[in-house]
Homo-oligomer: A and B are copies of this chain.
Amino acid sequence: MNKDGDTEDRIFEAAQAAFHEHGFDGARMADIARRASINQSMLHYYFRTKEQLFDAVFRKAILAVLPPAIAILGEDGPLLAKLERFAHRYVGILQANPHIPAFILFELRRNPEAIGRLAGETAGPVFARFRGDVERAVREGDIRPIEPSHLLANVVGLCVFPFVARPMLQGGLGMGNEAYDGLLRTRADHVADFLRHALRP
């Protein structure tokens, strides 16, 4: 018998890999069981249903990327410095979890309403604060005039996009895995620099 949660962890890891790769609809319980080297009924013993197993995996993914974004954007200090910190820390988080952005975008299509609501509840206040920060920075002449919502989309998108679009960008640029990994390693610096130039008055 297992008494230290090892089987549950194994199931979770296998499910995470399968759901990240295939999404909810494409992942198969039989495949997850095989990956975890268990009998399939044990998935149900530990997690009851496919839906609940998926929820556990999704929750972990969201917790990996949403609270840090909120925390960083909610910090005090000059806007430009904050955006640079965001780029460095957020790209770092994405590099540690390269499959999560696409996984979440994948889930966005399956469940746009629920995730929109979740985003509103969790990130809404800090996004609103971001708007205020941008407006103040413009007023004080720290940055040139810019629409805050567009800027927010830019900041997040510049960090996220090279991860979600990797196969297409990598193929189009004729890069191997090492070269593209190298590009991702310089991504944070590039984004910070790009934003600095884009926003200077």
A interface residues, Cβ below 8 angstroms from B: 21-26, 102, 104-106, 108-110, 112-113, 115-120, 123-124, 127-128, 144, 146-147, 149-150, 152-154, 156-158, 160-162, 164-175, 183, 186-187, 190, 194-195, 197-200
Contact = CB atoms under 8 A, between A and B. Distances in A.
The secondary structure that dominates the A interface is: helix
A144 B170 CA distance: 24
13 contacts: A23-B26, A23-B109, A106-B109, A115-B171, A117-B171, A119-B172, A120-B171, A120-B172, A149-B175, A149-B183, A150-B194, A157-B162, A197-B197
B102 A108 contact: yes
B26 A110 contact: yes
A168 B198 contact: no
Nearest to A26: B25
B171 A161 contact: no
